[in-house]
Amino acid sequence: MYLGGITYSITKSFGRLQLVPENEGLRLYYTPINNGVADTESAGFLNLLLPLDAVGGLWATTRAFLYGVESLDENIILQGAGADTDGGDILIKLYRDKPRGAHGKLSGEETCWLRLVTGRSEEERRRIKLGPRDLLCLELACNTVLSLAAQAGTHKPVAV
């Protein structure tokens, strides 16, 4: 973690997602809540560092959702990163419901979701409904990561 230690938290009745900005990326720290108690031993527990190269797209999509502009969803697939499962892929997906306005336009009432899928069991398929405050937390966390990476010089882009 970096000096300062700002974290952002999205808390629901079923779990808490902490967004921890780091020089190398965004740490997603999800703790399931079972019977009102945080449970780090549950199959749904997740401590994952989202790589720096994936943070920019997540940041841009989150901003588009916050401002209610047309945008596709954001899909991040980390191949073979599911070390606690069978080495399978991990999916992080930020999306919103289909547009409800006339002629397929956004109405501003579409629900936004964040899916974190690390395995096949129901506990490893987390789906979190995001309100405006939650989207703002995600946007600020991504923005902080980008600032930290620029300051620390940790991003080493490679041409593809």
pLDDT for position 58: 96
pLDDT for position 3: 54
What CATH superfamily classification does 8-152 receive?
Transcriptional Coactivator Pc4; Chain A (2.30.31.10)
pLDDT for position 1: 46
Which amino acid does the sequence have at 66? L
The whole model's pTM is what?
Answer: 0.87
CA gap 19, 135 in Å, rounded: 11
CA gap 51, 80 in Å, rounded: 14
Instruction: For the chain, list residues with pLDDT below 70.
Output: 1-4, 82-86, 158-160
Would you kindly state where each structural domain of the chain is located, as residue ranges? Answer: 8-152
